[in-house]
Structure 1
Amino acid sequence: MPEWTILAVVAVAIIAVVLMIVKLHVNPVIALAIGAAAIGLMSGLGAVGTVETMATGFGDTMAEAGLLIAWGVLIGSLLNRMGAITRLVETLLKAFGPKGVPYAIGVSFATYLQTIFVDVMIVLAAPLARRIAPRLGKAGVGIMAATFAISLEVGIALMVPGIGAVMIAASLGIPIGQMLLWGVVVVVPTVIISILLMTIAFRAGFWKAETDELAMIDDGGDRPADGAGPEDAPRSVAGATRSIPVADADAQRSAVAVAEHDDEGLRRLPLLVLFAPLLLSLVLIASGALLDVAELEVPPMQFLGAPAIALLIGVIGTAIIARRVLGRTELERALVQGFKDAGQIFALTGVGGALAAVIAAGELGPLLTQYLGASAFAPILLVWVFAAVLHIAVGSVTLSAMTAAGILAPVAASLGLNPVLVGLAAGAGALFCIHVTSNTFWLLQSFLGQSVRGALKSVTVGVSVASLVALGMVLLLSLVL
């Protein structure tokens, strides 16, 4: 097949997927499946080959990520139902003080709290953020909004067990433990530097309270003045920045109610106990990854450090705690809600793997390798640009990151580039220019009392700064890996 034909097939298919999602409001799962089938048929795989390749890609991806997604979502659902986030933010405020709390919250949200859905996290933590903001000065609202936006979105795209990071790792065949370890190396400095830069800019005059903030009525700290809730905010046609549905209004109201409930069992348990199973899971995964890097064989730790086993331990431990805090009935409801929320994530993850498999089976990889040469920097920059452009068009962090990573994965393999770098670059690019197609944008605008102009500064500019900082971190990491 001529070179221009190969490029045209993939380009037309990707553009068609974007148009289906943005203009025709086609569900991202269906649009991706159509795109994968079209690329397979037009690139010469044939009808049988296309179906087999899509099925193989779907199965391989789900084998890698399916259990991880299920366990992560269940842990998040249980922690959410127990109201652990409210207590955590209150504790961080007491421990770090007003000036240090944005960084403490940012690192927490971006790392070990990535099992919690973004929309639910905002609903639960926004009231506390509004109380902290006045203690940060005139730009306090902007600083807290940028902290939330940067940390939540960076965590989704780059940090295991964030949904985006898990899906990217599965798409590229990256060991979850390595994605976790190198994700921490990129995520922590990215969050801290980005929050610092936005804080400096806001305090220098970039944030103007008179035009960037809206008056809020304190009605208990859970709803904006106009009464709009998450169910009233505009929704991304791609299904939000995570490419999954917003938690339904009943689930969010239940989460807020439980968070506010004066549960004596919850108050008796130290905060560390509530998060201990999740933290143990992450430590086990990291330990297993370190053993792999050191090429050491310790069978018991290799078993416990396997991500599926480690997160299962986290689910069991969190469920035991939730049983005491919530009772059996609420525990069952939290588990049911978790499985419900995981459904479309499974479908999107598998279909994303099918698309990547079809692209990898064609001749696009060798063709791009020929033009890009042997430089490790060119593929990293190209992955970032692809993901950034796709995100601007589609409004989905995970969808754009997975698609860009899938297209460039064959190039990385041919050049000997570590797939972790490709995955992190894709995640970084997918953060660029989060705007009005994002649920995060509208939730932060409503729940933190920002005008649209203010949200454009704190969310769009803030997360774009984080995208560029993360790119710089990945480029530095490429000098080591």
Structure 2
Amino acid sequence: MIALHTTISIVAIILLIIRFRIDPIIALVAGSLYLGLASGIGFAATLTAITTGFGEIMAKIGLLIGFGVLIGSLLHAVGAFRAMVEALVRLVPAKRLPYALAMALATIFPSIYVDVQVVLAAPVARSSSGLIGPRGLPLLAGALGTGIFCGYVFVVPGLAAVSIAGLLEVPLGTYLLYGIVIGPVTALLTVWLFGLLLRTGWWKADRDEEENEALLEAEEEEANGHLKPRWRPSLGVAVLPILVPLLMIAFGAFAGLAERSNAFIEFIGNPTFALFVGLLGAYAMARRSLRVGGTTAAFEKGLHTTGEILLVTGVGGSLGAVIEATGLAEVLGGLFSVNAAAPVLVSVLLAWFIAALLHLAIGSVSVAAITAAGIIAPILGSLGVAPVVIGLAIASGSLFALQVNSNFFWMFKALLGLSTSGSLKTLTVVTSIASLVSIPLVLTASLVA
């Protein structure tokens, strides 16, 4: 009965979000309440699980998410992201631009704000597409979508990556070591495969491209800017608030693997401290560029966004805590022990499937990843697979087939000047390819994790 009630709870959450357009926060809490009460753990224990689950995940990753979002907001305000993207056009040969764009989005600045990333990169992709040829726009659009979401789910400090690691109690340094390989490799392979697909006549410009007033307005807004920076950082300076924390986290992780760590190295490599250093750098950059008033405005915008992200992440932790309280771990642990011959394959594919199904239903990569991690976290101990591998499998599944039930889909469509069919042929296809390409890489990682 516990498995049945868990299934009903998850289906109900999906229906509330999709059919009745209920906010994911309300749907997740309602589903948690139903599961706790229906499974018989009691009124008090259900509320305790919801509140403690929320508090525990906030203690683990609340500051990380907050610092990351604030860094993104400040860098966006001073034009740092635009400097990074524009540098690609100047430095990279036209035929290599799709690969460079995908790599930069997946590694140099993995996304905290997917909306910001597409707003910044779309005008550059459109303006440089003519350098590549008739297939330039779809190829760059596919590269843009691939890079953004591979960074988002695989590479710290991508929001989904941080959330998955936190919910599954995977050290961020460990997640980074695997994700920084799987994310970029997935992005490059996906762009290459998508390029081959475009050569088959897949793209029909007359049906798949269209002019859009929102695109022109967004470009004008981006060109003019509301905050009017009086100084924009160079490329080398712009990447520092992101690159320095990544290097600090990686340094701490490698030192631990080499058994050369000590208290000071652990302090330097601590993800919270590393992202705080990045935040200090972004804040100093903003103060020089925007003065006090502009910096405060950018900071407040980041705080507003942070609240929304923290709530949905926290209630994802609440759902996981309720599932754990029901004793589902023991039930599923028994199921997995029946097929002990291939526990890694079964477990990885199960994690991928749950995340992919949730993404198809909900339309949000982050909510799908958070929900899947919340569902699987209580049974991690029974799977016999390294938690980082399960986390990467969830990341892989949450990429699958981003399509019309996603707000990002429609923003992508408008900013790149694509029709609905053109957006399906680019964004939906490349996220599906990336999801399928990455899962063998995750299985390979399981051999060494």
Question: Shorter-chain TM-score category?
Answer: over 0.9
User: Is 1:345 matched with 2:341?
Assistant: no
Aligned to 2:152: 156
Q: Distance in 2 between matches of 1:161 and 1:407?
A: 22
Change (3 A) 1:254 1:295: farther
User: Is 1:450 matched with 2:441?
Assistant: no
Change (3 A) 1:116 1:18: closer
Aligned to 1:291: 255
Q: Distance in 1 between matches of 2:152 and 2:344?
A: 25
Query: Which among 414, 435, 439 is matched to residue 467 of structure 1?
Result: 435
CA shift, 1:430, in A, is: 1.1
Aligned to 1:235: none
CA shift, 1:265, in A, is: 2.5
Paired amino acid for 2:215 = P
CA shift, 1:12, in A, is: 0.5
Q: Distance in 2 between matches of 1:144 and 1:76?
A: 23
Change (3 A) 1:282 1:259: farther
Q: Is the 8 A contact 2:83 2:238 kept in 1?
A: no
Aligned to 2:231: 265
Paired amino acid for 1:280 = V
Aligned to 1:11: 7
Alignment of 1:61-460 (within 5 A): 61-215=57-211, 223-224=214-215, 257-258=224-225, 265-266=231-232, 269-372=233-336, 373-374=339-340, 375-460=343-428
Paired amino acid for 1:145 = A
Q: Distance in 2 between matches of 1:44 and 1:158?
A: 37
CA shift, 1:286, in A, is: 1.0
CA shift, 1:424, in A, is: 1.0
Q: Distance in 1 between matches of 2:112 and 2:316?
A: 22
Q: Counterpart of 1:138 in 2: which secondary structure?
A: coil
Q: Distance in 1 between matches of 2:220 and 2:206?
A: 31
Q: Distance in 1 between matches of 2:259 and 2:324?
A: 29
Paired amino acid for 1:422 = I
CA shift, 1:124, in A, is: 2.0
Change (3 A) 1:188 1:76: same
User: Is 1:47 matched with 2:43?
Assistant: yes
CA shift, 1:203, in A, is: 2.4
Q: Distance in 2 between matches of 1:411 and 1:343?
A: 29
Q: Deviations over 1:294-341 (max 9, x none)?
A: 333322221121111110011111111211122121111111111011
Q: Distance in 1 between matches of 2:445 and 2:261?
A: 26
Change (3 A) 1:255 1:307: farther
Q: Is the 8 A contact 1:214 1:451 kept in 2?
A: yes
Q: Distance in 1 between matches of 2:164 and 2:429?
A: 24
Change (3 A) 1:120 1:74: same
CA shift, 1:115, in A, is: 4.5
Q: Is the 8 A contact 2:112 2:157 kept in 1?
A: no
Aligned to 1:21: 17
Change (3 A) 1:455 1:115: closer
Q: Distance in 2 between matches of 1:19 and 1:354?
A: 19
Q: Counterpart of 1:437 in 2: which secondary structure?
A: coil
CA shift, 1:259, in A, is: 8.7
Q: Counterpart of 2:385 in 1: which secondary structure?
A: coil
Q: Distance in 2 between matches of 1:412 and 1:432?
A: 22
Q: Distance in 1 between matches of 2:366 and 2:144?
A: 18
CA shift, 1:17, in A, is: 0.7
* TM-score w.r.t. length of structure 2: 0.94
Q: Counterpart of 1:206 in 2: which secondary structure?
A: coil
Q: Counterpart of 1:327 in 2: which secondary structure?
A: helix
Paired amino acid for 1:297 = S
* TM-score w.r.t. length of structure 1: 0.88
Q: Distance in 2 between matches of 1:299 and 1:189?
A: 34
Paired amino acid for 1:87 = A
Q: Counterpart of 1:297 in 2: which secondary structure?
A: coil
Q: Is the 8 A contact 1:213 1:450 kept in 2?
A: yes
Q: Counterpart of 1:161 in 2: which secondary structure?
A: coil
Q: Distance in 2 between matches of 1:415 and 1:295?
A: 27
Q: Is the 8 A contact 1:441 1:459 kept in 2?
A: yes
Paired amino acid for 2:142 = A
Paired amino acid for 1:383 = A
CA shift, 1:116, in A, is: 4.6
Q: Is the 8 A contact 1:124 1:259 kept in 2?
A: no
Change (3 A) 1:301 1:144: same
CA shift, 1:52, in A, is: 1.5
Q: Deviations over 1:333-355 (max 9, x none)?
A: 11111101101111111111111
Q: Distance in 2 between matches of 1:63 and 1:314?
A: 20
Instruction: Name whichever of 101-110 and 116-125 sits farther off.
Output: 116-125
Aligned to 1:237: none
Paired amino acid for 1:327 = R
Change (3 A) 1:333 1:182: same
Paired amino acid for 1:31 = A
Q: Distance in 1 between matches of 2:212 and 2:70?
A: 34
CA shift, 1:448, in A, is: 1.0
Q: Distance in 1 between matches of 2:389 and 2:434?
A: 17
Structure 2: gaps of 5 or more residues: none
Instruction: Calculate percent identity across the aligned residue pairs.
Output: 39
